[in-house]
Amino acid sequence: MQDFRRLKNRAHELALDVYTVTKHFPREEHYGLRSQLRSSSASIGMNLAEGCGRNGDREFARFLQIAMGSASELEYQLLLSHDLGLLEKNSYPQLHARVAEVKKMLASLLRKLRADS
């Protein structure tokens, strides 16, 4: 359970960081890439929360898979933002590492759920 709390915290911190770095995106990106980055980063934690509220490990695992999909989306959106020059120079490596950490934690929890069932 401690690992799950850590995962929830990491996902939340990642979303907060994404909101912070996208605050200064150009106006023309407010309804484009900025919105997509914010949505996918928030979706990770939201799916963790919703999965916790469901009955059983099978449903929880389904929401973990959705969270993994959102993390993969975020990973690409960060790369695109970096390559377009929208992110500050030091932001991309840090955010990429945080997404990779969250994805590893999600994969580990999924493996544990599958092994237990």
Q: Do 15 and 41 meet the contact criterion of CB atoms below 8 Å apart? A: yes
Structure tokens belonging to residue 16 = 């907060």
Domains of the chain with CATH codes: 2-116 (1.20.1440.60)
Interval 15-70: pLDDT, tens: 999 999 999 999 999 999 999 999 999 999 999 999 988 888 899 999 999 999 99
Tell if the pTM clears 0.85, that is, is over it. yes
Cα separation, 65 vs 63, whole angstroms: 5
Cα separation, 15 vs 54, whole angstroms: 23
Does residue 103 surpass a pLDDT of 80? Answer: yes
